[in-house]
């Protein structure tokens, strides 16, 4: 049964492309565990853990948390999983993280299954992020400290410099496919599913 098979999906795409939303739905429908490194880090910040205190200023500046911290987090998450059925949202973000993940997955005998790349034009991305912040505020929810226009721009720049090169990493292995990220949530979701088979 497919439910009992390893499956490793990595969502790639710039901040604001909608990775989190799409990954959430795919995880629910395909019985996968969503591993969102941004959520994990923000949870540490909210709880005021030692890690949270270390990473808080980095998140607020829109920069990347050091690779060794992220790699240790992911190693912990995957440790002891009998079946590796996961979606990565926000990891890997650097070449070093991608290489570490390749090794970890090899050890677990669970190779990458699919890497959807969500594509959204640059002009739309910052607007989406700022709008998300506004809506959260309107609902009385906490607004991410990095969802301001200035930090959102910084995050795009960091993405272009450090994460975009991973497209080649996964393209070379034949796992990557491009998904038009402009449209309704349902439209984008169908494109993701279509690309997977
Ligand atoms: P977005 O994709 O919208 O920027 P995330 O929630 O994925 O949002 O990430 C928020 C922040 O968390 C990043 O700007 C970065 O500071 C930190 N972070 C998340 N994942 C990683 C990672 N894999 N490596 C380094 N830093 C990370």
Query: At 34, is the secondary structure helix, strand, or coil?
Result: strand
* Residues in the ligand 1 pocket, defined by CB under 6 Å: 15-16, 37-38, 41, 58-59, 62-65, 70, 90-91, 93, 97, 146, 155
What pLDDT score was predicted for residue 197? 66
Nearest alpha-carbon partner for 16 in 149, 189, 139: 149
Q: Which residues are annotated as a binding site for ATP?
A: 16-21, 132, 183
The per-residue pLDDT string of the chain (197 residues; one tens digit each, 9 = 90 and over) reads 444 589 999 999 999 999 999 999 999 999 999 999 999 999 999 999 999 999 999 999 999 999 999 999 999 999 989 899 999 999 999 999 999 999 999 999 999 999 999 999 988 999 999 999 999 999 999 889 999 999 999 999 999 999 999 999 999 999 999 999 999 999 999 999 999 96
Give the pair of three-digit tokens for residue 126: 């910052």
* Ligand 1 atom nearest 41 alpha carbon: 12
Q: So what's the pLDDT on residue 3?
A: 47
Q: Please give the CATH superfamily to which domain 7-191 belongs.
A: P-loop containing nucleotide triphosphate hydrolases (3.40.50.300)
Between the CA of 96 and the centroid of ligand 1 the distance, in Å, is 15
Atom of ligand 1 at shortest range from CA of 129: 3
Alpha-carbon distance of 4 to 61, in angstroms, equals: 41
User: Sheet harboring 7-11: ordered strands across?
Assistant: 7-11, 85-89, 33-36
Contact 6, 78 (CB under 8 A): no
Query: Nearest C-alpha to atom 6 of ligand 1 is from which residue?
Result: 38
Distance 19 CA to ligand 1 centre (A): 12
- What's the confidence (pLDDT) of residue 139? 95
């Amino acid at each position: 049964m497919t439910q009992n098979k390893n499956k490793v999906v990595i969502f790639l795409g710039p901040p604001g492309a909608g990775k989190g939303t799409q990954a959430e739905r795919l995880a629910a429908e395909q019985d996968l565990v969503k591993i969102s490194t941004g959520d994990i880090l923000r949870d540490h910040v909210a709880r005021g853990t030692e890690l949270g205190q270390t990473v808080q200023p980095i998140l607020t500046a829109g920069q990347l948390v050091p690779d060794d911290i992220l790699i240790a987090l992911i190693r912990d998450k995957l440790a002891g999983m009998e079946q590796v059925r996961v979606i990565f949202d926000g990891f890997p973000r650097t070449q070093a993280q991608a290489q570490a993940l390749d090794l970890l997955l090899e050890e677990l005998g669970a190779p990458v299954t699919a890497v959807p790349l969500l594509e959204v034009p640059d002009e739309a991305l910052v607007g989406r992020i700022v709008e998300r912040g506004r809506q959260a505020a309107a609902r009385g929810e906490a607004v991410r400290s990095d969802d301001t226009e200035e930090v959102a721009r910084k995050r795009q720049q960091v993405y272009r410099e450090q994460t975009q090169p991973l497209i080649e990493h996964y393209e070379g292995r034949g796992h990557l496919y491009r998904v038009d990220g402009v449209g309704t949530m349902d439209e984008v979701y169908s494109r993701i599913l279509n690309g997977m088979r």
